[in-house]
Structures are given as structure tokens and as C-alpha cells.
């Protein structure tokens, strides 16, 4: 089946897509088993070898809150930070930014919520406070010459509040852009979005002056919608997507076995659409199999299971 | 989260979609455990109660070949065949059709392949022979006043031959239509299709004179593509989709845990797109949980797991 999927390209879609591989951070932080630094380095090395050029390497949050990401400084120390691959690390505040810079990070990510409930429940403050914290951190990172991406959480729905107004998302995206974020990742944190919702949010953001080229879609497959949402975003010109090898990374707000959009499932679709990524799907699938062994359970990617004959 | 998914309707998409629920036939025939007639009747009853108006009830193939579908006549005997719900049964040939008619069936499905390899490996004859058999059966059923749907297998790729020419699909679809099939279900039997492929096949069929209203898409989620493919088909005006409660029904040609497109995952997307179906997603999810217990394993639907908190 080497000629499958058949390729049918469409000039109305982006010719090339950039994938930000999030398994080593967003994925692993949702796992009960903490992987030691050498294993995390092997994961990142395998992903770089597969052709991924943007690989989240960890985070500088409190190791008490997120033990899975402890020793991210040691991870960065084991990477070639001068290579063509970027290794963004998550920084929650100015102190985390300083730690990341001390460890040599050239790429950082800040995060803010678009809902009051999630801000208070997960970010430890009011929406105003945590937004200001994220914006300050982004501004400081940008002023220091780092590349900064901004994550928006709960863009397509909130587990406590339900519906989220796309105009609220636009305001938060503008705040991140004005603080120096060159990429803004729109997080469907609980996976409830559907394609028309994605289209509406993108149109609202573009209408508010946010460049489509700066937008990234971060989907979770909690309700099986992740790839349909990616297709809707491609049709609006989005060319950056977050994805996770094997789909590792659960949703903490639903009793679901599915997590992040699996990189392999995304690659299968992009390949079929004739969109280039520079990434070897078989190498990613093999990495997912290996990662599942390290974590002690199979990962949810459908493509990985089909390709490797699991 | 009762207001999720948020609804964003699009006048360019169909306002209403018909789902043909295939769990009780295409789903169960892939399971190692054979369910007795009363359990199959309970499944069908629960699905009708959930609002599904087209429910595959079984097949009249040899019980030696497909023991899971033995006693389909007894299943039909337990259903109200005069109700507003249609209960199509699969018939492989004239003899199967006669058995179905004797059992009181008002709706039958015939099936043909679009590839030589699949025809020989699974339908027991050359492509010409098995096509003729399906066409003859459809013509006889139509002449007897039954409603006839036609399944096309391997429309988007074949496990032995690889790529399939969309023009070949158009020829097979025309043969089924000319034989009296009012619905033609395009089967992505091995789940390899991607959205541009779906669009191309649909455009080819419409260009060959097949009415879009007569087309149904039958997807498998082997590579995680099923729902993205449905979205592409909706954008071309397709308003009929096959789906299976819980996603029950494996793909025999890949070592995959995923099967048919899950009805719940489809419903979540259609609900978010503001497309009406008349089906209660919670009732389907509860039925999938129950069905998984009958089969002795959890079913793959992401939405079912999220909704029921499994």
C-alpha cells in the first residue's frame, strides 16, 4: 500500500504546513508515569530525526505542580540549541522565563486563558491577573530577543462555563500579538469544537486584524473532531498545527482515552492532500510505538496502530 | 456542558442528514463474539428508540461464512416492518434476496467491488462476474418493489492493488443506479481516504451523471480520517452517511482497533454544524456502552467515552 493514501492536492489549501510537535511537553505532562531525562531526550531526538522542526522540549513550571516536566533545564542541556530545529519551552511567568533563559532556551511559550473559570481553577488567579502575567512574560521574552509563541486555552468551550464568545478570543489573541507573540496557538483544550466553530473563530480573529499566518490550531480528539477541525482550518489558510506523536496527552476534563491530535493521523491527511511537511510518517509511528512502551500503555493514534500493525 | 458543542450553522451545507446505522450488521459481523437474536433485537430497538430511522438489521449471506449474522430471518420476525423505520438487510445474490423477501424484508442492500483483487478475494469471483451478480440482484429486488441500496467496496483504495481510479468508481455507481439502487454507498473499506480524495470522487460521480442526493459515504476510521472525510462530503452536498454505534466494526486489512465511523462522533459534529438528524446522541452513547458490555470490550468511539465518562 505504498501508494496510499492517494494524493489529491488543492491549490486553495496551503502548500506547506508546519507542525509543532507537543508530545514531549503537553503529552507527557498528562501521563501518570514520569519519564527520566534521557528518555525524554531520546524522544525529542527521534522526533527531530523524523523531520519535525519544532519540538516542545518541556516547561519551567513548578516541579511540584507538574513533576513530569521537572529537570527541563537538563533536557535543554542535552539538545543542540543552535540547530535548525526549534525547541520551545513553556514559561508560566517572569521567573520561569529567567530559568529558561539561564538554560539557554531560544524559544518560549506563554499561556493565557480566555475564560475566568479556567484561569481561576488552573492558572491561580483572576482572568485579568493571569492575562497580565502572560502578557508581561511574553513582552519580556520578546525584548530579550527570544521567539515567543502564545497559547490560548479553552478557545472553543470551557468545562465550567460552556460556550465561549469568539470576540473574547479575538481580544486575547490581540493582547498576545501586541506583546510580541509571533505565533498564537488556539487551544481546543477540551476537544468540543466542530468545523463550523473553527471557521467562525478564525474569521472573527482575521476580522479583528490578526494575521492568519500567525495562527496555529491546537486540537484535542476528545470527541473525535480533531482532524475535521484541522481540515476546516486549512480551508481558511491556517498552516500551523500542534500535534502529538501517538496522540499522547489526555484531556483532564472528560473520561476519555483520546488526547491530543496524533501527529501520524495529521500526516496521513496532509499527505493525501498533497501538502508537504518534511516529516516521515513511518518514523513518527515507530516513535509512538516506542513511546507507548516507555509509558506502559498503547497510544491512541489510529494511524500508528494501522501502519505498525499493532 | 449542555450548551456544547456550540452551534455554527452554514447555509452551504445540508440542513438535514440521514444516518444509516450499520452497527447491527457491518459492525457485528466483524466481532469474534456472536450475539444471539434477542440481544441483536435489543440493539436494534435501542437504536430506533434513539431516533435512528434506517438501521441495518442483518444479512442473508451463508451462516458458515458469517456466523454472526445467522438467523437474520428471526431478527426480522421480531421487528415491526410496517413502522417508519427502515431495516435494510444485505443480500449477496438472488437466493439471498429470496430468503430476505420470504422473511418480509422491504429494504435490501446489494454490494459490488470496484477492484478485481477484492472481488476475487472476498466476493468469490471475477470483478465482471460479481458485478453482474450484484446488478442482477438489485434489478430483481427493484422489480419486486423493494427499496434497494447498493454498496461499493474499496472505493478509495484497495489493500492489494493500492490506488483506485475515480472513473472506475463512476462506472460501478452507474451500474448500480441503472439496476434500481436509490442509494449508493461509497465504501472507504480500508479507511485510507483523505478529504481531497473524497471531493474528487464525488465530483467525478456527479460529472458522470450520478445525483449527489443518491450518494452515501461509508467511512472507516482506520487512519483517523473518517470525520474529516464526512466534512468534505457535506461541503459537496452529500446528506447520507453510514455510521456505527460506538464505532463497532473492525477493518480486517489493518491491525487497527478502530472500525466504522462512530455514530456518536458523527452526531457531535453534525450537532455543532447545526445539521438536524433527529437522533439523541446521549441515547446512542448509552447504547454503545451497553453494546460494549455485550461484546466484552470497550468500543472505540471517542465521543461515547467522553459523554459517558468511561
Is the C-alpha dihedral spanning B96, B101, B102, B106 positive or negative? positive
pLDDT value at residue A6: 96
B269 and A191 in contact by Cβ < 8 A? Answer: no
pLDDT value at residue B252: 54
Average pLDDT over residues A217-224: 96
Tell me the DSSP string of A237-250: T--EEEEBGGG--B
Q: What is the pLDDT of residues A195-213, one digit of tens each?
A: 999 999 999 999 999 999 9
B163 and A4 in contact by Cβ < 8 A? Answer: yes
Taking the C-alpha atoms of residue B56 and residue B150, their distance in angstroms, rounded to an integer, is 13
A6 and B163 in contact by Cβ < 8 A? Answer: yes
By C-alpha distance, which of A228, A243, A223 is closest to B227?
A228
Band of residue A252 on the pLDDT scale cut at 50, 70, 90: low
Q: What are phi and psi of B84, to 5 degrees?
A: -80, -10
Beta-carbon contacts of A43 under 8 Å, excluding residues fewer than 6 positions away, are A23, A24, A35, A245, A287, A291, A294
User: Radius of gyration (Cα) for chain A, nearest Å?
Assistant: 18
pLDDT value at residue A309: 75
Q: B299: which chain A residues are within 8 Å (Cβ-Cβ)?
A: none
Residue B73 to chain A, least CA–CA distance (Å): 35
Q: What is the pLDDT of residues A34-88, one digit of tens each?
A: 999 999 999 999 999 999 999 999 999 999 999 999 999 999 999 999 899 999 9
Q: How many residues make up chain A in this entry? A: 310
The cell numbers describing B84, all together, are: 417508519
Residue B16 pLDDT > 80, yes or no? yes
Residue B182 to chain A, least CA–CA distance (Å): 28
Range of lowest pLDDT (A255-269, B13-27, B259-273): A255-269
Which of A223, A303, A306 is opposite residue B265, by nearest beta carbon?
A223
Q: Number of residue pairs across A and B with CB atoms under 8 Å?
A: 192
A269 and B194 in contact by Cβ < 8 A? Answer: yes
A192 and B4 in contact by Cβ < 8 A? Answer: yes
Band of residue B307 on the pLDDT scale cut at 50, 70, 90: confident
Q: What are phi and psi of B90, to 5 degrees?
A: -80, 135
Residue B111 DSSP SS3: strand
Q: Which of B20, B181, B216, B251 is catalytic?
A: B251
Residue environment code for B28-56, b if the CB has 16+ CB neighbours within 10 A, otherwise e: bbbbeebbebebbbbbbbbbbebbbbbbb
The neighbour count for residue B3, using CB atoms within 10 Å, is 10
Residue B149 DSSP SS3: strand
pLDDT value at residue B310: 55
Average pLDDT over residues B147-154: 97
By C-alpha distance, which of B26, B115, B125 is closest to A1?
B115
Average pLDDT over residues A11-20: 98
A254 and B200 in contact by Cβ < 8 A? Answer: no
Which of A192, A271, A308 is opposite residue B5, by nearest beta carbon?
A192
Q: Dump strand ranges (E) for A136-200.
A: 147-153, 183-187
A265 and B223 in contact by Cβ < 8 A? Answer: yes
pLDDT value at residue B74: 98
pLDDT value at residue B148: 98
Q: What share of chain B is helix, strand, coil (3-state, %, to 5)?
A: 45, 15, 40
The cell numbers describing B151, all together, are: 454498496
Residue B155 to chain A, least CA–CA distance (Å): 12
Average pLDDT over residues B10-31: 97
Residue B308 pLDDT > 90, yes or no? no
Which of B15, B117, B194 should one mutate to test binding to chain A, selecting the residue with the greatest count of A CBs within 10 A?
B194
Residue B253 pLDDT > 90, yes or no? no
Band of residue B230 on the pLDDT scale cut at 50, 70, 90: very high
Residue B285 DSSP SS3: helix
Alpha helices in chain B (DSSP H): 37-49, 72-77, 94-102, 116-118, 127-143, 166-178, 195-207, 226-235, 263-272, 281-295, 302-308
Residue of A nearest to B253 (CA): A306
Q: A271: which chain B residues are within 8 Å (Cβ-Cβ)?
A: 194
Residue A1 to chain B, least CA–CA distance (Å): 5
Residue A244 pLDDT > 80, yes or no? yes
Residue B171 pLDDT > 90, yes or no? yes
Helix-helix angle B281-295:B37-49, to 10 degrees: 170
pLDDT value at residue A310: 56
Q: pLDDT higher for B189 or A257?
A: B189
Which of B196, B231, B255 is opposite residue A309, by nearest beta carbon?
B255
Q: What is the pLDDT of residues A123-155, one digit of tens each?
A: 999 999 999 999 999 999 999 999 999 999 999
Taking the C-alpha atoms of residue B262 and residue B220, their distance in angstroms, rounded to an integer, is 9
pLDDT value at residue A256: 56
Residue A264 pLDDT > 70, yes or no? yes
Taking the C-alpha atoms of residue B107 and residue B112, their distance in angstroms, rounded to an integer, is 17
Residue environment code for A156-181, b if the CB has 16+ CB neighbours within 10 A, otherwise e: bbbbebbbbebebbbebbebbbebbb
Is the C-alpha dihedral spanning A22, A11, B165, B14 positive or negative? positive
Residue of A nearest to B197 (CA): A8
By C-alpha distance, which of A43, A27, A40, A47 is closest to A277?
A47
Q: B223: which chain A residues are within 8 Å (Cβ-Cβ)?
A: 5, 265, 268, 302-303, 306
B192 and A224 in contact by Cβ < 8 A? Answer: no
Instruction: Give the mean pLDDT of chain B.
Output: 95
Taking the C-alpha atoms of residue A137 and residue B240, their distance in angstroms, rounded to an integer, is 50
Residue B57 pLDDT > 60, yes or no? yes
User: Radius of gyration (Cα) for chain B, nearest Å?
Assistant: 18
Q: What is the ipTM of this complex?
A: 0.96
Active site residue ranges of A: 251
Which of A162, A231, A309 is opposite residue B231, by nearest beta carbon?
A231
Q: A263: which chain B residues are within 8 Å (Cβ-Cβ)?
A: none
The cell numbers describing B55, all together, are: 438501521
pLDDT value at residue B3: 81
| Torsion angle defined by CA atoms of residues A184, A185, A190 and A191, in that order, rounded to the nearest 10 degrees | 120
B192 and A310 in contact by Cβ < 8 A? Answer: no
Look up cell 516542545; give the residue. A56
Residue B156 to chain A, least CA–CA distance (Å): 8
By C-alpha distance, which of B50, B71, B66, B59 is closest to B24?
B59
* Long-range contacts from B100-104, C-beta under 8 angstroms, 24+ separation: B100/B60, B100/B76, B101/B144, B101/B146, B102/B73, B103/B60, B103/B72, B103/B73, B103/B76, B103/B77, B104/B76, B104/B77
Which of B10, B194, B196 is opposite residue A196, by nearest beta carbon?
B10
B194 and A271 in contact by Cβ < 8 A? Answer: yes
Q: A268: which chain B residues are within 8 Å (Cβ-Cβ)?
A: 194, 223-225
pLDDT value at residue A253: 55
Residue A62 DSSP SS3: coil
pLDDT value at residue A69: 95
Task: List strands edge to edge, sheet with A147-153.
Answer: A54-55, A18-21, A240-243, A215-218, A183-187, A147-153, A107-113, A89-90, A58-59
pLDDT value at residue A307: 87
Tell me the DSSP string of B230-271: HHHHHHTT--EEEEBGGG--B-TTS--S-BBPBHHHHHHHHH
B4 and A310 in contact by Cβ < 8 A? Answer: no
pLDDT value at residue A251: 60
Band of residue A308 on the pLDDT scale cut at 50, 70, 90: confident
The residues spanned by each domain of chain A are 18-308
A196 and B164 in contact by Cβ < 8 A? Answer: no
Written out in words, the top-level CATH class of the domain with range A18-308 is: alpha beta
Residue B93 to chain A, least CA–CA distance (Å): 31
Taking the C-alpha atoms of residue B1 and residue A162, their distance in angstroms, rounded to an integer, is 5
Q: Dump strand ranges (E) for A28-167.
A: 54-55, 58-59, 89-90, 107-113, 147-153
Average pLDDT over residues A279-305: 95
Residue A257 pLDDT > 80, yes or no? no
Q: Do B199 and B173 form a contact (C-beta atoms < 8 A)?
A: no
Q: B157: which chain A residues are within 8 Å (Cβ-Cβ)?
A: 1, 4-6
Average pLDDT over residues B161-187: 97
Amino acid at each position: 500500500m505504498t501508494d496510499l493514501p492517494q494524493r489529491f492536492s488543492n491549490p486553495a489549501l496551503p502548500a506547506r504546513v508546519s507542525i509543532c510537535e507537543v508530545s514531549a511537553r503537553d503529552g507527557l505532562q498528562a501521563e501518570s508515569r514520569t519519564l527520566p531525562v534521557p528518555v525524554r531526550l531520546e524522544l525529542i531526538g527521534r522526533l527531530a530525526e523524523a523531520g519535525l522542526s519544532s519540538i516542545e522540549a518541556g516547561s519551567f513550571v513548578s516541579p511540584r505542580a507538574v513533576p513530569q516536566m521537572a529537570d527541563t533545564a537538563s533536557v535543554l542541556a542535552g539538545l543542540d540549541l543552535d540547530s535548525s530545529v526549534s525547541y520551545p519551552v513553556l514559561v508560566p511567568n517572569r521567573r520561569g522565563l529567567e530559568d529558561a533563559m539561564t538554560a539557554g532556551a531560544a524559544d518560549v511559550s506563554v499561556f493565557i486563558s480566555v475564560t475566568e473559570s479556567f484561569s481561576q481553577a488552573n492558572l491561580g488567579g483572576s482572568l485579568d491577573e493571569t492575562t497580565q502575567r502572560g502578557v508581561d512574560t511574553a513582552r519580556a521574552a520578546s525584548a530579550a530577543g527570544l521567539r515567543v509563541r502564545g497559547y490560548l486555552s479553552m478557545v472553543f468551550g470551557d468545562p465550567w462555563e460552556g460556550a465561549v464568545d469568539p470576540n473574547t478570543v479575538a481580544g486575547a489573541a490581540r493582547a498576545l500579538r501586541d506583546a510580541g507573540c509571533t505565533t498564537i496557538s488556539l487551544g481546543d483544550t477540551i476537544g468540543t469544537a466542530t468545523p463550523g466553530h473553527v471557521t467562525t473563530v478564525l474569521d472573527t480573529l482575521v476580522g479583528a486584524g490578526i494575521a492568519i499566518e500567525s495562527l496555529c490550531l491546537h486540537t484535542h480528539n476528545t470527541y473525535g473532531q480533531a482532524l475535521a477541525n484541522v481540515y476546516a482550518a486549512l480551508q481558511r489558510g491556517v498552516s500551523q498545527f500542534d500535534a502529538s506523536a501517538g496522540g499522547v496527552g489526555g484531556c483532564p476534563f472528560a473520561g476519555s482515552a483520546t488526547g491530543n491530535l496524533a501527529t501520524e493521523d495529521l500526516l496521513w491527511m496532509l499527505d493525501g492532500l498533497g501538502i508537504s511537511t518534511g516529516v516521515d510518517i513511518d518514523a513518527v509511528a515507530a516513535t509512538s510505538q516506542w513511546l507507548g512502551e516507555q509509558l506502559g500503555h498503547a497510544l491512541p493514534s489510529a494511524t500508528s496502530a494501522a501502519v505498525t500493525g499493532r
